[in-house]
């Protein structure tokens, strides 16, 4: 985090407290002045990016990239003794359900997760929770290569 970030956060907290005294909870400010000293906003974790010198004078867009640790699973064609049956649990590296941090490929083609059999697989678990299981909507033959990557 940039130098002075702690002081900037303290100043923002002081500003918020001052506004709380001036505005009712349901009210909104019509205008705001440019900050004398800008600050940085940095995203880390599954998605990373940075906006530097944010001073309130314009909208901020943060270009993001996937970050953090990744894990993979590779199941080569003809390495499985049996078909992975439709609706059977298939173990993959840990991911967070619904976070778009899981990629599944069949023979190099990206599969899409979804709630019905118009998709290739579904994530198993409650949105926002960690899981290590997916289910394919169709049988996956033994001669299909499966590659899974998590972020």
pLDDT of 128 strictly over 80: yes
Residue bearing the bigger pLDDT, 150 or 106: 106
**What's the pLDDT score for residue 34?**
77
**What's the pLDDT score for residue 110?**
97
**What's the pLDDT score for residue 114?**
96
Residue bearing the bigger pLDDT, 103 or 52: 103
Q: Give residue 7's pLDDT band: very low, low, confident or very high (50, 70, 90).
A: very low
In the chain, domain spans:
5-66, 71-150
**What's the pLDDT score for residue 143?**
96
Beta strands in 1-150 (DSSP E): 39-43, 47-54, 65-66, 71-75, 89-96, 102-106, 109-110, 121-123, 130-136, 146-150
**What's the pLDDT score for residue 64?**
65
**What's the pLDDT score for residue 77?**
92
Residue bearing the bigger pLDDT, 119 or 32: 119
Quote the CA–CA distance of 25 and 111 in Å, as a whole number: 46
The pairs formed by 60-67 with CB atoms below 8 angstroms and a separation of 24 or more are: 66/101, 66/151, 67/151
To the nearest whole number, what is the mean pLDDT of the chain? Answer: 82
Q: How big is the chain by its Cα radius of gyration, in Å?
A: 23
Q: Give residue 24's pLDDT band: very low, low, confident or very high (50, 70, 90).
A: low
**What's the pLDDT score for residue 20?**
61
């Amino acid at each position: 985090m940039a130098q002075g970030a702690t002081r900037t956060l303290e100043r923002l907290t002081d500003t918020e407290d001052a506004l709380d005294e001036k505005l009712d909870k349901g009210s909104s400010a019509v205008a705001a002045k440019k900050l004398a000293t800008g600050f940085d906003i940095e995203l880390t974790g599954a998605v990373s990016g940075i906006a530097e010198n944010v001073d309130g004078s314009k909208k901020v867009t943060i270009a993001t990239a996937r970050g953090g640790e990744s894990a993979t699973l590779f199941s080569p064609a003809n390495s499985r003794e049996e078909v992975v049956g439709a609706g059977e649990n298939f173990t993959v590296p840990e991911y967070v359900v619904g976070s778009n941090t899981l990629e599944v490929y069949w023979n190099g083609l990206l599969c899409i997760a979804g709630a019905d059999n118009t998709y290739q697989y579904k994530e198993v678990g409650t949105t926002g929770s960690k899981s290590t299981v997916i289910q394919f909507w169709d049988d996956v033959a033994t001669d299909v290569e499966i590659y899974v990557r998590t972020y």
